[in-house]
Structure 1
Amino acid sequence: MKIYSFLLAAVLLAASVDARRAGNTDCGADFPKEPPAKNGSQPVIGASPTTVVPIANTPAAPGARLPAGAKEPATNTPPAPLGGKRPTGAKDPAGAKDPAGAKDPAGGKDPAGGKEPDANTPAAPGTKVPENKGEDGAATVGPPKEQPAATPAPALDNTGGSQTKAGTVKAKFSYTGKNAGGPGSYDMVTDFATCAKTKQTASSPVSPLDDDVTLVFRGPMNIFNIAVFDGSSGKWSKVSSYEKGGAASNLVFLNNRNVDYGGKTSPQGFSNAAGNGLAKQSTPFTGSLGAATKPESQSIYADEKTGAEVHIMTSKQCGKDGECKGYYDKDGTAFHGWGGSKKIFVTKVNMPQGGAPNLPAIWMLNAQVVRASQYQCNCRGKGKAGGCGELDIAEVIEKDTNVMATHYYFYDGSPAPGHDSFGKRPFETPATYVTIIDDKYGIKI
């Protein structure tokens, strides 16, 4: 009997050890960590980092000996991821101030209804998953484990797929609450020759930038990509795009070279390929904007005084493809911007050193500003009194040309939030700026 008891105890002990070696660990075991991201990704401004959920228990190794009556442990299903410019629209870099308390508000949430289109990165093909180990430290051997599915990015239409690789968030800034805009009024231009205006009211939480808007770019700058997304339907769809050296989709490049010295029509016209001259029709853009060629002159042209400028609109013409708000010329050079209270603008650029004044910038204007006159009669107003709205997304100002500033001007200029140095200037390596306007959240860069 003693011999039988001794043998029975030995068998049970061996079975227990084999079970542990088979990978049947408890829920408190340490899970392997996701491999670190590879170096070399482009910095992304305003994007969200990827959420990674570890995989649960590893199945038992093939051929492992189990106690009599024991069943093979099942692999757990991974859980779901947890939840001249300051007058009338011109820049006045020297006068920009850093408003007190203009920090990214704590507790800010992502826009309701979805994530930014480039937020999630699927696992890289061929990435080796770290091995689980049993309690004795030996790696379990068995078939590769199925990777958990990445949280899908917002659905996009066929005009362009989603960005599948998120970069590193280098800087971000948010405008929420009253700093994001809201109900108010501004003076809309109704006649350009006389600069007649009428009061226009707005009521969205992100007004006045729920009006159709344009993006303006000033050199020295290289523009590699532009994409615009619309979320009004409940999902994010790409509606406009441009790639350096390629064709644009639902996007035209314009500038202020179409000057009427009689002052009766808007100076907006089609930009030439370099952004420093006038074209007779929509022309493919090279993607490069030069520095000022005559910075000491009294020139009225931006490419000579401050740096070549272009602004972008959709390809929908005012009048022909629907009415536009405010004044616009009837010569076929007036276009719709991007309207609505849910929209995303993605721009990939660098800003190399240039001659004086060396102040590249990306900013957003109410499209009414450029349809009238960006630097004369418009609905923008002067200085901090932003009227129909100006959002400086990434602007180099005179106080420090190595950093980027962001400011938002609207209505009577109270408040006028922003920051003089929220990120570093991308001299050589391109940076991607993501600007989100969402009436459930506010504005995020």
Structure 2
Amino acid sequence: MKKNIKSIKGMNDYIDKKLHLYNYVIEICKNILNKYCYKEIKTPIIEQTDLFKISIGNNTDIIDQEMYSFYDKGGKHLTLRPEGTSGCIRSVIEHNLLYKDKIQKLWYFGPMYRHENTQKGRYREFHQFGVESIGTNSIYIELEIILITIKIWNVLGVSRHLKLEINSIGSIKEREIYKNKLNTFLDSKHNYIKKYYKKNYKKNPLRLFESKNSNIKKVLKLAPLLHKNLSKKTLLRFKHLCNVLKKFKIKYYINKNLVRGLSYYNDTVFEWKNLSLNKKNTVCAGGRYDKLAYILNGKKIPSFGFAIGIERLIILINNLKKNKTKKTTIDIEIIFLDNETILESISISEKIRKKFPTLKIFINFSNERTKKKLKKSYENKVKMVLFIGKQEIEYKCYSIKNLKNKEQKQCTYKELIKEISKLFF
């Protein structure tokens, strides 16, 4: 008995309506970023493992448990990318993109891979639409990027169901000082917490604030607070950003426990959360990462960006029944009445395509009866059907039917072109 081979767990097929919505969302994002003059960048799906070990940091769930890593035939240690920012910064440095343009505004889209426990909206192959502004530490670029996310939500019709949370996690130096204080506090706690945090979070204890563990949450309520360990300069910077957001009437919430999981972040971080979900509700997240280029190549390049989880955004759109995408309709369907007229059907379809390149023309090659084919044409909302049989070829005329008004007529090739123009243009 043959084995039924299925897709790998956590990696999904995109078919029909699901694929159509997926493409629709990506096109919306692309169009908006192009209007803001952000340029596309494409980086490899596979990168050197060291790229992520250096950028994300060792002793994290992503590095220790989730990355798809392997040795290739040449013995190189490679990884399927778990996120897009590291590869983007690597590319900017490698190709010296900042030499001519001191600020690079970039967007990218593609699959990412993490070996996680699969659940709705959390898959092992997932897709992100990422946006990065590289080369400036201005809070106004932070404003622009948040405005871009709002534009995307507005066009997709989901803005009322998303909540913007922001926070400042301080400068890199301030974070290191706070981490030491937090480690000292956690070392004094009872064995369960001590063992758990030492195993998973010793190098980056801030990530404990993202934990859903009730015991850890209880302990952290007594922990020193990050915002009370930030300098006056950092707090003024964050206050300035908040004031700018208010001027643009952007509704936001300060979440003092929002830290972001990746170790390269500093200062402003933000998340857009789906209000209709209790868990795994972050649709879009990002922040400032001035440290990343430095730890990769020793160059100080201030940067700010975000990534949208496409699968989670699609879940939101479907839940709200905001899927306004239109099924790809057939403009003209050509039905040949016998096998001897197939070549003529293909020939006339090519002539029409050349004359009207924007029209969608479908030749029905099925062996079904003409009546059944026509019934499906109505179901598929075809606008015009062109019948070609021996009689049409002999008399050099075509039988056409307008499925909207059900009017059927015979016409020459010139008359056919006029009828098509009248119906579609």
TM-score range, shorter chain: under 0.3
TM-score (norm 1): 0.24
Higher RCO structure (Cα 8 Å, ≥6 apart): 1
Structure having the higher strand fraction is: 1
- TM score, norm. by length of structure 2: 0.25
Higher helix share: 2
